[in-house]
């Protein structure tokens, strides 16, 4: 996967995370987990979205521009992994909001996929 693609994926997941966070907070089914971002969200959705997108764009740009450094490559993998987990949490929240009574089943399924994939390779 190319460096530019990873940076764009990081920014896209950051944007989706921001949009879903606003939705869950509006529907009163979740709260912002980051204390600083929760304070910014309490100031308004526009401010929250602006700060979130700026931080995400800055992180994606820095990791893209420094991709020649091993630390930046590992950082990109780490951040993409964290956002993948966040997306699974958003999916579970969505299922729960829609009335599905077993969102933990979805999270358990998705978290078992990497191990199942690796097991299929051996």
- Structure confidence at residue 105 (pLDDT): 67
Overall average pLDDT of the 80-84 stretch: 93
Instruction: Note whether 87 and 13 are within 8 A (CB).
Output: yes
pTM of the model: 0.76
Confidence band for 118, pLDDT divided at 50, 70 and 90: confident
Q: Which residues contact 64 (CB under 8 A, 6 or more apart)?
A: 3, 4, 6, 7
For the stretch 19-54, pLDDT in tens is: 999 998 998 888 898 999 999 999 999 999 999 999
């Amino acid at each position: 996967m190319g460096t530019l693609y990873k940076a764009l994926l990081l920014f896209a997941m950051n944007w989706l995370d921001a949009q879903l966070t606003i939705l869950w907070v509006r529907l009163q089914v979740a709260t912002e987990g980051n204390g600083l971002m929760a304070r910014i969200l309490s100031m308004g959705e526009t401010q929250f979205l602006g700060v979130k997108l700026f931080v995400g764009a800055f992180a994606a740009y820095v990791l893209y521009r420094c991709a020649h450094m091993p630390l930046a490559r590992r950082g990109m993998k780490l951040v993409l992994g964290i956002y993948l987990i966040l997306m699974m949490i958003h999916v579970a929240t969505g299922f729960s909001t829609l009335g599905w009574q077993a969102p933990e089943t979805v999270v358990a399924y998705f978290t078992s996929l990497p191990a199942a994939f690796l097991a299929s390779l051996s």
